[in-house]
Amino acid sequence: MPDTTQNRMPGLLGKLGKMTSIRDTELLEQSLLRTLGPLLGVLDTSLYRTDDGQNMIRVINYHRSKVVDNDGMSRMVERVEEVNNLAGLPAEVIALTDSVRLLGKPCTRKVEGDFMVAYPLLGDGEVCGFFVFQRDHEVSAVEDSMIRGVLEVFSNYYALLDLSLRDRLTGLHNRQALESSFDRIWRALSRPDLVNGQNGGRRSAPSNRYWLAMIDIDHFKRINDHFGHMVGDEMLLLVARLMSHTFRSSDLLYRYGGEEFVAIISADTAEIAKNVFERVRMAIEAYYFPRVEKLTVSIGFCQASPEVLPVEVLSRADRSLYRAKQDGRNRVYAYHDLVERGIFTEPSFEEAEFF
């Protein structure tokens, strides 16, 4: 093994140690890019994530640059950008990652004199994403072995971490994962120039707004009392699967606890958001459930705003849900509509609820 690669090993082992001490999947993804970029001698690396249908849903770009301070000292500055709107994905990236998915192995493509390289990211034996970088020379055999090893450690640890963030019954993300999503979404809301953008993460069109909904199965206690908890668990699982299939691949869905779920979606307007939630409500209403036959859900939702704390947004959606149940259940209520109708009073920051 060349001395240059031997010199990398202590640093690599240290980085892997730090990577496996992380307890957040998003930070773990960033750590992967921070680990491999310097080891490969490149300033830019990217992680592309796909859904179960092999559609690109998210990109994390990592960039390093040298900055010279006023005193003449130079230092490396890092920047991480997450992109959710992939309409402007470069054609060469699409072609390269398609080849990786079809062949199930790393592929290289010549781009303007450089080599663009993509490695598959595996989960449960399936390709669930791609590690991509570009430089002026190809990957050596030693580097290839190093990249494969780091990606294997990452994938195995990510699977364990992801399992701890999922509800055992439904397979949906749990309340702990919801709190992590709050951190990421509120950071994105506070930096609209880097949300849902194109051309290196810069916004070329107004970014989508986020909406949070509380979803509750109507009269669920009656199901448990009449049919027993095993049937109740079956209903929870079926409702979770129905919602997963009805929501869009970019939407986030969590089991909040008991018969309550939380969904976070992006939509340009409140009307579009309500249509998304109405589609979910109608899908459940139209489904024939074994033994129980019919189930409905009530939904309350609110816009997520960087000026309002996540706990208050959750509280507003919950209040809207409770009002929907008061008014007869099986309906979707928007917090802003209830404020406009005078049913709710818009709270000041001093009135925000904390729990």
Q: Around 283, how many Cα atoms within 13 Å sit in the side-chain half-sphere?
A: 16
Identify the CA nearest to 147 among candidates 183, 121, 129: 121
Backbone angles phi, psi at 15, to 5 degrees: -65, -40
CA distance linking residue 45 with residue 32, whole number of Å: 10
Q: Which distant-in-sequence residues (6+ apart) come within 8 Å of 227 by Cβ?
A: 291, 292
Active-site residue, selected from the candidate residues 29, 81, 82, 259: 259
The answer to whether 132 and 147 are in contact (CB under 8 A) is: no
Give yes or no: 82 in active site: no
From CA 189, how far away is CA 303, in angstroms rounded?
A: 11
Task: Give alpha helix (H) positions in the chain.
Answer: 3-19, 25-40, 91-103, 141-164, 175-189, 220-227, 229-246, 270-286, 310-326, 335-340
Q: Which residues of 171-195 are buried (b: 16+ CB within 10 A; e: fewer)?
A: ebbbeebbebbbeebbebbeeeebb
**DSSP codes, 80-137:** EEEE---TT--HHHHHHHHHHHHHTS-EEEEETTEEEEEEEEEETTEEEEEEEEEESS
Phi, psi (5° rounding) for residue 287?
Answer: -80, 140
Return the active site residues: 259
